[in-house]
Amino acid sequence: MNEVSEYIKDVAKGVKTLLGGLSVTGYYFFHPKEIITQQYPENRGTLKMFDRFRGEVIMPHNEKNEHRCNGCSSCELACPNGSIRIVSKHLLLENGKKKKIIDQHIYNLSLCTLCNACVKACPTDALKMSQEFEHATFGRVELIKVLNKTGSVVMEGLEE
């Protein structure tokens, strides 16, 4: 007899939680103007992602094709998946000292977890998270990106 009463209590509790969930669904069914669901892809032109959204890592350049990356490799070391690789080269200056400059800042979006660790680790604020969210491609090779543009240079004062 005790097992039957426990069973009935469990069924009543399940029905109560089911009705609680259905009440939320019913409220939004009768109040459709409060719905915040985006009608993607119909609203692609007007779609604005939230400010906290992290789409992919980018390296902003100014109008003179300058970036803020000095090749310190902090982002590469902070990345938990190894989705960032910095290829650098050394130039010999006139005074005999070597200067490290980046040749390519390679970012593999297919490995990236969008954790933002590389952006936080960068001491020069060279990396940012973009609002881009459409990453569908026919091959993974298209998800490997070189973040520094061709012919770009480091901004003045960031070489150290």
Residues 30 and 67 occupy one common structural domain: no
Residues 78 and 134 occupy one common structural domain: yes
* E-state strands within the chain: 57-58, 66-67, 84-92, 98-108, 128-129, 144-146, 153-154
The three-point CA angle 62-70-109 to 5° equals 75
State the pLDDT at residue 109: 95
Residues 22 and 90 occupy one common structural domain: no
Q: Is residue 87 part of a domain?
A: yes
Q: What is the pLDDT of residues 46-68, one digit of tens each?
A: 888 888 888 899 999 999 999 99
- Domain tally for the chain? 2
Range of the domain at 82: 57-154
Global confidence as pTM: 0.71
Q: What is the pLDDT of residues 64-100, one digit of tens each?
A: 999 999 888 999 999 999 999 999 888 888 888 888 8
Residues 62 and 27 occupy one common structural domain: no
